[in-house]
Amino acid sequence: MQRRIYGVETEYGIIFTPEGRKTLPVEKAIRFLFEKLITTEHFLNVFLENGARFYQDTGCHPEYATPECASPRDLVIYDRAGERILEDLQHYAEEKIREERVAGKLSIFKNNTDFVGNSYGCHENYLVDRDVDFYYLAEQLIPFLVTRQIYAGAGKVFQTQEGIHYCVSQRAQHIYQKISGTTTNDRSIINTRDEPHADREKYRRLHVIVGDSNMSEYTNFLKLSTCAIVLQMIEDNFINKDFTLRHPVKAIKDISYDTTCKRKLRLENGREYSPIEIQREYCEMAKRYIEQYPVSDQLKEGVEKWEHVLDCLDDDPDRLDTKIDWVIKRKLLRSYIQKHNISWHDPRVFMIDLQYHDIRTDRGFFYLLERKGQAERLFTDAEIEKAKTEPPQDTRARMRGDFIKLARQNNIQYDLDWSNIRLGNLLNVRVICNNPFETDTEKVTELVRTIQRTNLRRTSLSKLVIQS
């Protein structure tokens, strides 16, 4: 597919640290986050004016799902816009907590693990052609996903029985299956969930749950664009080498513990490759692919960055200390340890690790580095600010976002999901849009005009369905 829909679902960690005897349950803090967004929709499940969805996930995690995006570039911008939306809600929640006369600190983290060993995810979604065999696609993609953590990992200080380890990935330690249908207990590299939120006969949604949540725009763009080009090569049967790993679940953990990225992995055919070598093979195929097939400029840019990053990893990963999350964070930790003459076992090291992921721009360590020019930017604050309220203009999200604005301006009751808009006093008028590339907002605008002109209490519209 040359045109593809992308999405990311990010689960955030949330902690309230009391400064006295009186405390606040996390559940109540989350309710304060959502309180500002109260509409006619379900209280803890809200679609936003930018087309995204904000809701509470399992385990008291606020979750932000980006609107449908048509490019990796837009996806990174809307993912980061989610951080800024959540930061605004955090400020509101802190005001409500003060009104409750509870002293303490509310913190929200864009990471994947807590202090007691729980993991929460960052799930990538890619629209794929239904004609491509799912299990063939998954088997082709798994070696790439297992090894891409060498540039897509967020980094983590782990306490193990053998001592302290700085690992490349946070999520890798919590993967137990190659492919499965669950996202919690037996987490897999690829999830089998078949909810395309689109025409089921044409499309499938590939649900990748193995990735880390990234703070770095550079890392995030690289993670998404490289996966997109590999998917396109698989769909076009361009990949002609077999990198099937003998033990992919073990390999994903082994790679995470090796910050040299050069430890050899055994393939099913008996050959041995390092993660860098496997990624290099995929990258070289991608370079040949873009010479023969139509590929977007963004994916070409992703391949250029991919080659550069692999060259740096092969030579010295520290060359990426402004680009790649796990390298940026490791430099921060090493600097702090050296400055204060402490060991990796010091509790302050674990706190800095966590504080790297704080979404508050005034106290998160990643944003401190970014302001100092020590974390590379790809996008502007203006682009991210616009994405907080404006939906993508080239996907179905435009219809959803524009409708939400119109409905709120005109006090129209509504409910919606990714493919349906229901409105009216009885929610008996429905707009269906199974085409995620649809952008015709005039249909939605006309429907709102119709409702404004029509007294729904006297007119039966129960059979009115607009099909997009």
- What rounded mean pLDDT belongs to the chain? 91
What band does 148 get if pLDDT is binned at 50, 70 and 90?
very high
Query: Is the pLDDT confidence value at 54 over 70?
Result: yes
CB atoms within 10 A of CB 45: 15
Query: Is the pLDDT confidence value at 463 over 70?
Result: no
What is the 3-class SS of 140-155, one letter each residue?
HHHHHHHHCHHHHCCC
Give how far Cα 116 sits from Cα of 113, 155, 158, 159, 256, Å. 8, 17, 11, 11, 19
Pairwise CA distance, residues 17 & 416, whole Å: 35
Span of 47-56, 154-163, 189-198, 459-468 with lowest mean pLDDT: 459-468
What band does 460 get if pLDDT is binned at 50, 70 and 90?
very low
Query: Is the pLDDT confidence value at 213 over 80?
Result: yes
Is 57 an active-site residue? yes
- What's residue 464's pLDDT? 52
- What's residue 262's pLDDT? 97
Average confidence (pLDDT) over 101-126: 91
What band does 141 get if pLDDT is binned at 50, 70 and 90?
very high
Span of 196-210, 233-247, 410-424 with lowest mean pLDDT: 410-424
Pairwise CA distance, residues 228 & 384, whole Å: 22
Q: Is the backbone of residue 59 left (phi > 0), alpha (psi -120 to 50) or beta? A: left
- What's residue 183's pLDDT? 61
* Three-class DSSP category at 274: coil
Pairwise CA distance, residues 214 & 217, whole Å: 8
| Portion of the chain with pLDDT greater than 70, in percent | 92
| Portion of the chain with pLDDT greater than 90, in percent | 74
- Return the residue matching tokens 């977007």: 296
Query: Is the pLDDT confidence value at 428 over 90?
Result: no
DSSP labels for 318-380? GGGTTT-HHHHHHHHHHHHHHHHT--TTSHHHHHHHHHTTB--TTT-HHHHHHHTT-S--SS-
Average confidence (pLDDT) over 85-100: 95
More confident residue, 364 or 42: 364
The one-character DSSP state at 85 is H
Query: Is the pLDDT confidence value at 434 over 60?
Result: yes
What band does 43 get if pLDDT is binned at 50, 70 and 90?
low
Residue environment code for 227-237, b if the CB has 16+ CB neighbours within 10 A, otherwise e = bbbbbbbbbee
Pairwise CA distance, residues 104 & 14, whole Å: 13
- What's residue 87's pLDDT? 97
Residue 113 bridge partners (DSSP): 119
Pairwise CA distance, residues 80 & 380, whole Å: 11
In order of their start, the domains of the chain are 6-386 (3.30.590), 396-467 (no CATH)
Q: Are 92 and 170 in contact (CB under 8 A)?
A: no
CB atoms within 10 A of CB 180: 18
Total count of residues recorded for the chain? 468
Span of 156-165, 221-230, 285-294, 326-335 with lowest mean pLDDT: 156-165
Tokens at residue 242, please? 């077999």
Query: Is the pLDDT confidence value at 453 over 70?
Result: no
Pairwise CA distance, residues 189 & 209, whole Å: 6
- What's residue 440's pLDDT? 79
What band does 36 get if pLDDT is binned at 50, 70 and 90?
confident
More confident residue, 321 or 445: 321
Kind of pairing, strands 45-47 and 53-57? antiparallel
Average confidence (pLDDT) over 149-158: 97
- What's residue 454's pLDDT? 55
Average confidence (pLDDT) over 355-372: 97
